[in-house]
Amino acid sequence: MLEEQAIGALAALAHENRLTIFRSLMRAGPSGLAAGEIAHQAGLAPSNVSFHVSQMERAGLLRSWRSKRNVFYAVEIDGMRRLLSFLTEECCGGHPELCGIIQDQPDEAEVAN
């Protein structure tokens, strides 16, 4: 992945609604979700969802397809992998195996409670 592409992908995710949508689609897996279900889960109007998913689709993070009258969206796994690879390719001085699996860390707010 080129730096310009990584910047575009990160910019596409750098919005509260788009990040919420992306995470919902990650949970849904390769079968994805219909646009209406995405709107419902994110608490957004369908027209807003369309705007946000188009940004992520242009960045190579989502894919879409039609089935009858519905439009479905799913995470573009290869696009996500390319972005993660770009971000971690020089991890630990060029030895990403030293970093191990990045585990979910508690939020600062969770730690404070």
> Taking a C-beta distance cutoff of 8 angstroms, is the pair 50, 31 a contact?
no
Looking at residue 86, its pLDDT comes to 86
In angstroms, the Cα distances linking 7 to 2, 13, 20, 61, 81 are: 9, 10, 19, 12, 15
Measured distance CA(54)–CA(111) in Å, rounded: 36
Whole-number pLDDT of residue 24: 96
What's the CA gap between 56 and 43, in Å, rounded? Answer: 18
Domain containing residue 103: 3-112
**Per-residue pLDDT, 15:** 96
Residue 33: give its domain's CATH number.
1.10.10.10
Count structural domains, the chain: 1
pLDDT at 107 over 60: no
pLDDT above 80: residue 60: yes
Query: What's the whole-number mean pLDDT along residues 1-27?
Result: 95
* 3 pLDDT more than 80: yes
Mean pLDDT of 44-54: 93
- Mean pLDDT computed over 16-24: 96
